[in-house]
Amino acid sequence: MVYGEEVKIETRGFSDIHNITEMVQEVIDRSGLEAGIACVFCIGSTGSISTIEYESALVEDMKDQLEEFIPEKKETRHGKTWGDDNGFSHLRATFMGPGINVPFSRKQLVLGTWQQIIVIDHDNRSRERKVFVQLLGE
């Protein structure tokens, strides 16, 4: 069976990181499925989905590394073409990827002890970020 839901998160941009593990688990709870795969996909070209140990120091380390990898002030042809100065956000999102697949068993996500699912909004403004959770299971 296939089941899907869209969840929404208010974000601040500039690689704002949010733990969405509980939201994904709630989708599984509502689905009635026992086991399968959860595809977690960020809708939009400036957001990413990943996993991390979601604690404040590591979240800040991640933001610092993203800034070092592709700086916010990096001039891009995209920014010059469209005048929105968010080329850096598209690049960060492309390198990190828009989604992940996470197994679930006995109605529970299969994650490590300190592993949480996160959404990262790389864009240069606040927004309502949409994430689609598609479940394939039984």
Q: Show the CA angle centred on residue 93, arms to residues 90 and 69, nearest 5°.
A: 90
Backbone region of residue 28 per phi and psi (left: phi > 0; alpha: psi in -120 to 50; beta: other values): alpha
pLDDT at residue 80, rounded to an integer: 87
Collect all residues with Cβ–Cβ distance below 8 Å to 100 and sequence separation of at least 6.
39, 40, 49, 50, 51, 117
Write down all domains in the chain, each with its CATH number in brackets.
Answer: 2-137 (2.60.120.460)
Lowest mean pLDDT among 68-82, 87-101, 122-136: 68-82
Give the integer Cα–Cα distance in Å for 84 and 77: 11
Q: What are the beta bridge partners of residue 60?
A: none
pTM: 0.95
Is the per-residue pLDDT at 79 higher than 90? no
Joined together, the tokens standing for residue 57 give 């120091």
Structure confidence by residue, pLDDT tens digits, 87-111: 999 999 999 999 999 999 999 999 9
Q: For the segment 2-25, what is each residue's pLDDT rounded down to a tens digit? A: 999 999 999 999 999 999 999 999
